[in-house]
Amino acid sequence: MVRRGYDNQDERWFSQVELEKLKQANHDITWLINRGYKLEGSVTFVSNRFLFSNRQREALKRVICSSTCCLKRMKKELPLEQMKGKTLYIDGFNLIITLEVALSGGTLVFGNDGNIRDLAGLRGSYRMIEETERALQLLGQFLKRYEVSHVIFYLDAPVSNSKRLKSSILSIMEAMSLSVEVELVPNADVLLVNKGHVVSTDAAVLDSCLSYFNLSKAIIRENQVSAMMVDFRTKERGSIDD
C-alpha cells in the first residue's frame, strides 16, 4: 500500500524527544512572527539552532501562523450545520490529498489555527492511489448527510492526472445523487479569494476567503484512520476534537 505523505524517517523526526523540541520551536517562531518577522526567516533561524531536518522545517511552516492570524482564521470557520442548503467551493487537491494521507497511513500535523495539514507536497505531480476512491466516498457521504445543495470542485489543471480525478469525482458524487461540478482551472487558490463557504486548509486561501468549513478535520475525526497524527502546538491541545 502506498503511504501518501509519509517519509521513512518520520518516526525519527517526530519522536517524543523531537516533539518537545518542535513545541519549543513553535513557541519561539510564533513569538518572532508576532513581532513582525517573516515566517520563512524565522523558521530557518530557529530550526538552525535545533538542527532540524528539512522535513521538520516544512512541518513547522505548515503549523505556524501569528496569533492574530490564527484568531482571524478561527472566526472565519463556520459550524458544519450551516452547510445545509449551501453551495460549497472546494479546493480539490487540498482536501482530497489530506484525506488520502489520513486513510493510507501518512503523516498529518495539527496547525495552530485548528486545521489539519498533510506533508505530501504536490509539486505539480499527482496520481490516484487505492485510497482515492474511499476518500471520495467518505466525502460524498458527509456532504449528503449535511444536505449540501451544490458543490463546485476546483482542480489545478497543470497538475498531472487532474482530468482523471475530475472523472472519478463526478462518477462517485453523481452516483450519490449529489449536485456537483468540477472545474479544471489554472490556479484553484485564486478562485477562492473573497468567497464564502470555502473548503480548504491552504493558509493563503484561509487568509483571503470570507468563510470556510473544516471538512478534512471533521471527516478524519469521524472515521478510523491509520495516519501518524503529529501535534506540537504550544497549548495543551492533543486531541483531534480540539
Residue-level pLDDT at 233? 85
Residue-level pLDDT at 242? 54
Q: Are residues 109 and 217 both part of a single domain?
A: yes
> What span, in angstroms and rounded, lies between the C-alpha atoms of 178 and 148?
8
Residue-level pLDDT at 224? 76
Q: Are residues 154 and 36 both part of a single domain?
A: no
Q: Are residues 200 and 125 both part of a single domain?
A: yes
Q: Are residues 133 and 225 both part of a single domain?
A: yes
Q: Are 200 and 91 in contact (CB under 8 A)?
A: yes
Residue-level pLDDT at 179? 98
> What span, in angstroms and rounded, lies between the C-alpha atoms of 49 and 57?
12
Q: Are residues 171 and 226 both part of a single domain?
A: yes
Is 87 inside a domain boundary? yes
Is 69 inside a domain boundary? no
Q: What is the DSSP letter of 62?
A: H
Helices (H), the chain: 10-13, 16-33, 39-50, 54-63, 67-76, 92-104, 130-145, 162-175, 188-191, 203-208, 215-222
Residue-level pLDDT at 8? 94
pLDDT, tens digit (0-9, with 9 covering 90-100), for 133-168: 999 999 999 999 999 999 999 999 999 999 999 999
> What span, in angstroms and rounded, lies between the C-alpha atoms of 240 and 229?
9
Number of domains within the chain:
2
Is 171 inside a domain boundary? yes
Is 1 inside a domain boundary? no
Q: Are residues 142 and 188 both part of a single domain?
A: yes
Q: Are residues 119 and 191 both part of a single domain?
A: yes
> What span, in angstroms and rounded, lies between the C-alpha atoms of 186 and 47?
34
pTM of the full predicted structure? 0.94
User: Can you give the residue range of the structural domain that contains 54?
Assistant: 8-64
What's the chain's Rg over C-alpha atoms?
18
Buried b (16+ CB within 10 A) or exposed e, 80-90: eeebeebebbb
Residue with cell 521513512: 8
From 233, 214, 182, select the one nearest 30 (Cα to Cα).
233
Residue-level pLDDT at 2? 84
> What span, in angstroms and rounded, lies between the C-alpha atoms of 18 and 179?
45
Amino acid in position 82: Q
What 3-state class would DSSP assign to 134? helix
pLDDT, tens digit (0-9, with 9 covering 90-100), for 199-234: 999 999 999 999 999 999 999 999 878 789 999 887
> What span, in angstroms and rounded, lies between the C-alpha atoms of 66 and 72?
10
For residue 109, give the H/E element and its range. Answer: strand 107-110
**Torsions phi, psi for 24 (to 5 deg):** -65, -40
Q: Are 233 and 218 in contact (CB under 8 A)?
A: no
From 46, 161, 31, 13, select the one nearest 92 (Cα to Cα).
161
Is 236 inside a domain boundary? no
Residue 170 CA, distance from chain mean position: 22
User: In which residue ranges of the chain is pLDDT below 70?
Assistant: 235-242
